[in-house]
Amino acid sequence: MLFKIFFSFLKIGAFTIGGAYAMIPLIKKEVCEKQAWITEEDFLDGLAAAQSCPGPIAVNISIYTGFHVKGYPGLLMAVLGTILPSTISILLIAMLFHRYADQVRCARLFSALRPAVVALIAVPLIDMARKSGLNQKNAWFPFTIALLVGALTVSPVYVILATIAFAVWEARR
Amino acid sequence: MIYLNMIFTFFKIGLFSFGGGYAILAMIQQEVVIKNAWLTEAEFVQIVAISQMTPGPIAINAATFIGYQKAGILGGLLCTLGVILPSLIIMLLITVSYLKLRKQRWFQMVFKRLRLLSVGLIAAALIMVLGHAVENAFAVIVFAACFIATWRFKLNPFTMLIISAVVGMIFGTA
């Protein structure tokens, strides 16, 4: 059973490229339908929690599912399965990168990849803005955050703590 | 000593990365590029590119890569552990108590505000990389093409980056 949990998450970890939002449908299919370890309702509750907790969403959801299925050992296996493919492949690339980083070909490669990454960040920004309930009345808030953190390099730590404190005060009022 | 500092830094990154993926970038930039100067802004953008072409969450990829660059394999593993440790602690607590917490008004309010905050944080990451990544006419063209391809034509990020890599090999500036 433990090995099966590990293997399921290893498979998901190894074949999803592009972050958590690509992973979620696969995890759901594997644990709700294929293995039937958890009901869909429980999974969706866990997903909501995973998205509101700090840390990578994929890791959070594997913690929830692993624990749900087989307690602490299950949790450990699920987390290991999720992060191993990522850690191993990055270590390999980092080793190679070190050796070839200064070469002309690599410089050319990244001269196109760098602007591509900027596009990669810009597109989800539009989607996120839609889904987060942004409107004319509250747009000043993310706008101010972007200026504080992006232009004045204020640490996100302070901004996050202030936001949490403000929200709690708002709810108590 | 560097190990301790790295674990602590990535623990902090893990602890303050709400919203997943791109919202984490601003936090990594602040800690790794601005505060500790472990990477330049250009190297940081390269790591984001590599992260999106390899499996797994960006935060973990970045932690492993930076840890390896600064302190070898052990460094890579320790940074990875550091970044998931807050998840392990908090998610476990929440797994046990989330169903009760979710009904609380303050809890709902906090996450409503944090969702809006993560939009601001992604925009901040964008502002920070823009000057270092789009610096000549070639880069502007690549950016515009990639933006339109992913936004309008829903090209997936992996394919988009592979095409960009090939374009860079052929037409890129060294």
pLDDT tens-digit map of B105-129: 888 888 788 878 888 888 888 888 8
Q: How many helices and strands, by DSSP H and E, does chain B display?
A: 7, 0
Q: Which of chain A's residues have a Cβ under 8 Å away from the Cβ of B105? A: 171
Instruction: Out of B14, B49, B115, name the one closest to residue A117 (CB).
Output: B49
Q: Given this model, what pLDDT does residue B168 score?
A: 87
pLDDT band at residue B20 using 50, 70 and 90 as cut-offs:
low
pLDDT band at residue B98 using 50, 70 and 90 as cut-offs:
low
Instruction: Out of A116, A151, A171, name the one closest to residue B49 (CB).
Output: A116
Question: Distances from the Cα of A15 to the Cαs of A27, A86, A91, in angstroms?
Answer: 11, 10, 17
Q: Given this model, what pLDDT does residue B99 score?
A: 65
pLDDT band at residue A77 using 50, 70 and 90 as cut-offs:
very high
Question: Taking the domains of chain B in order of start, what are their residue ranges?
Answer: 2-133
Q: Given this model, what pLDDT does residue A21 score?
A: 61
Q: What is the mean pLDDT of residues B90-108?
A: 79
Instruction: Out of B16, B20, B77, name the one closest to residue A160 (CB).
Output: B16
Q: Rounded mean pLDDT of chain B?
A: 85
Beta-bridged to residue A68, according to DSSP, are: none
DSSP B23-89: HHHHHHIIIIIIIS-SS-HHHHHHHHHHHHHSBS-HHHHHHHHHHHHHHHHHHHHHHHHHHHHHHHH
Task: Report which of A1, A54, A69, A57 is spatially closest to residue A26, judged by C-alpha positions.
Answer: A57
Q: How many CA atoms lie within 13 A of A9 on its CB side?
A: 29
Residue A74 has pLDDT above 90, yes or no: yes
A98 reaches B (C-beta below 8 A): yes
pTM recorded for the entire structure? 0.79
Instruction: Indicate yes or no: CB of A52 within 8 angstroms of CB of B59.
Output: no
Report the C-alpha gap between B166 and B163 in whole angstroms.
Answer: 5
Q: Given this model, what pLDDT does residue B8 score?
A: 92
Q: Given this model, what pLDDT does residue B116 score?
A: 83
The answer to whether B128 touches B27, Cβ cutoff 8 Å, is: no
Q: Given this model, what pLDDT does residue B174 score?
A: 66
Q: Which of A36-45, A89-98, B66-75, B132-141 has the highest mean pLDDT?
A: B66-75
Q: Given this model, what pLDDT does residue A127 score?
A: 76
Q: Given this model, what pLDDT does residue A130 score?
A: 81
Residue A168 has pLDDT above 80, yes or no: yes
